[in-house]
Amino acid sequence: MSSPTASPEPLPASPDDEEDRAVGKLFAVLLAGEYAAFYRLIDESSMAPDIPSGIAIARMAASEIAHFELLAEQVSRRGLDPADSVERYRAVFDQYHRATTPRTWLEALVKAYVGDGLAADFYTELSEMMPPVAQRVVAAVMAETGNSQFAREQVTAAIAADPALRSPLTLWGRRLLGEAVTHAQWVLAAEEGVTDLLFSGAASLNGVADFFDSITARHAERMSDMGLG
Amino acid sequence: MSSPTASPEPLPASPDDEEDRAVGKLFAVLLAGEYAAFYRLIDESSMAPDIPSGIAIARMAASEIAHFELLAEQVSRRGLDPADSVERYRAVFDQYHRATTPRTWLEALVKAYVGDGLAADFYTELSEMMPPVAQRVVAAVMAETGNSQFAREQVTAAIAADPALRSPLTLWGRRLLGEAVTHAQWVLAAEEGVTDLLFSGAASLNGVADFFDSITARHAERMSDMGLG
């Protein structure tokens, strides 16, 4: 045992320790997001009109659990408990899902496709600002595809068959983006270490704004993929 | 092109073709079972009291989707459509689940543990009666563990804390077995090719009875693992 010192100050954490703690927190946030997304997706799938849709939803759910497992391992390695992490951060994701509860199967499909894409965008943007070891984790999560192409195809076909659906679904897509950005900002604002990790680079004076601009641009492409916007 | 013959009889299928068709049908039945189990498990997990339970349920659900994917590939290889297969056979599984809807989280846990074990037993018993190529598929499905140990631990702990739970949960476990056997017999009776595949060996005069005896014996062991029976 080392002898106690008289100094009242805690030892300053090394920059690496601090960075690793912030990465752990960020992964804990993402873990809670995957947990919420899994249960919400299944819940919303109760509107699925047929077995092929039910199978497609089950496949998306499986890839969310695969993401969850990858992140849970990383969170545990950094001394955090996965269940506690979900507990700590899930409220904001549950709130996002409550604010974006689909009323129809088509709204559920748009949400699935947009949500899957937004999650992938967040992971991509985040990964560019992360230390290399964390980047590899994010790349592994991303490599597990979200299986949401079926949603895009069904929405495109539905709009082709009934063009009157286009305008309300476009508004719905905008609302999904707005709520996602709002809730993401809440999470970032609540966890200072995470914000510092992501937006403290020399070129990042406009970091937060650029981050959301880039996500907005890719969202517009995705809406257009579905024949919306 | 071969010249048409005058013979009105269809060519007799080779024994291998017939066997392969029966294997395909059996896998289609199991596929429908995994599909029903996935959605039912998630549904019943709405009673989960905390995040660790929710995580454990998500892991069981993931292994059901993994089983589903393995079986779907085998079904497709034999010229059957996975979605059609689920459509064709899911009614009997839905009926089983309706007949065994848990009213409490503990009943849901007993059902999860017993159901996971019964499924594994069915797979094991079936595999012993199958041609080698099909045995390898079943072994691959089984290698994906069901992650149901958490359920056994929670039930054991609950009974230790409140021994009055033991008797009603024992009855519940018996009912689960009874309904599972009844519904399995309905499936087998409806698909003659499958019954022949499984119970046509020379030593199989008592095949069906032995099959269910063996499953009943292992069910008793599992009940006793949970402190029931």
Give the residue extent of every domain in chain A: 18-225
Interface check B86 vs A, CB under 8 A: yes
**Closest approach of B51 to chain A, Cα-based (Å):** 6
The Cα diameter of chain B in Å comes to: 78
Asked if the C-beta of A68 comes within 8 angstroms of chain B's C-beta atoms, the answer is: yes
Per CATH, domain A18-225 is 1.20.1260.10 = yes
**Across the interface, do A62 and B59 touch by the CB < 8 Å criterion?**
no
| Residue B9: pLDDT over 70 | no
The pLDDT score that the predictor gives to residue A69 is 93
Q: Which residues of B touch A50 (CB under 8 A)?
A: 83
| Joined tokens for residue A210 | 């650029």
DSSP A201: S
Q: What share of chain A is helix, strand, coil (3-state, %, to 5)?
A: 80, 0, 20
Catalogue the E-assigned strands of chain B: none
pLDDT at B106 over 60: yes
Q: How far apart are CA B166 and CA B172, in angstroms?
A: 10
Nearest to A68 among B35, B58, B65 (CB): B58
* pLDDT reported for residue A179: 95
Mean of per-residue pLDDT scores for chain A: 86
> A-contacting residues of B 109-168, CB under 8 Å?
none
Q: Which of A118-127, B87-96, B137-146 has the highest mean pLDDT?
A: B87-96
Interface predicted TM-score (ipTM) of this complex, two decimals: 0.84
Q: How far is B53 from chain A (nearest CA, A)?
A: 9
Task: Please give the pLDDT value at position A145.
Answer: 62
CA distances from B160 to B2, B113, B157, B168, B221 (A): 74, 18, 5, 14, 18
Say yes or no for a CB contact (<8 Å) between B68 and A58.
yes
Rounded to an integer, the average pLDDT of A95-102 is 96
Instruction: Please check whether residue B134 is in contact with residue B71, taking contact to mean a CB–CB distance below 8 angstroms.
Output: no
From CA B83, how far away is CA A124, in angstroms rounded?
34
Instruction: Convert the pLDDT of each residue in B142-199 to its tens digit.
Output: 766 667 888 999 999 999 999 999 999 999 999 999 999 999 888 877 787 777 777 7
Q: Is B129 exposed, middle or buried (0-12, 13-18, 19+ CB in 10 A)?
A: middle
Task: Select from A58, A68, A87 the Cβ nearest to the Cβ of B38.
Answer: A58
Cross-chain residue pair A58–B52, CB shorter than 8 Å: no
Q: Taking 80 as the threshold, does the pLDDT of residue B202 lie above it?
A: no
Report pLDDT for B2.
Answer: 46
What is the tens place of the pLDDT at every residue in A75-90? 999 999 999 999 999 9
Whether B36 shows a pLDDT value over 90: the answer reads yes
The Cα A60–Cα A149 span in angstroms is 10
Q: Is residue A86 less than 8 Å (CB to CB) from chain B? A: yes
Using alpha carbons, list the distances in angstroms from residue B45 to A198, B49, B110: 36, 9, 12
Q: Rounded to an integer, what distance in angstroms lies between the CA atom of residue A39 and that of residue B42? A: 8
Helices (H), B162-206: 166-190, 192-199
* pLDDT tens per residue across span A157-200: 999 999 999 999 999 999 999 999 999 888 877 787 777 777 77
Give the H/E segment covering residue B93. helix B82-99
Whether A40 and A116 have beta carbons less than 8 Å apart is answered as no
Around Cβ A165, how many Cβ atoms within 10 Å? 17
User: CB-based burial of residue B40 (10 Å sphere; 0-12 exposed, 13-18 middle, 19+ buried)?
Assistant: buried
CB contact under 8 A, A35 and B42: no
pLDDT for the residue numbered A120: 86
The candidate with the shortest Cα–Cα distance to B119, out of B91, B147, B98, is B147
Residue B27: is it exposed, middle or buried by C-beta count within 10 angstroms (0-12/13-18/19+)? buried
Q: Which range scores top for mean pLDDT: B32-41, B128-137, B179-188, B195-204?
A: B32-41
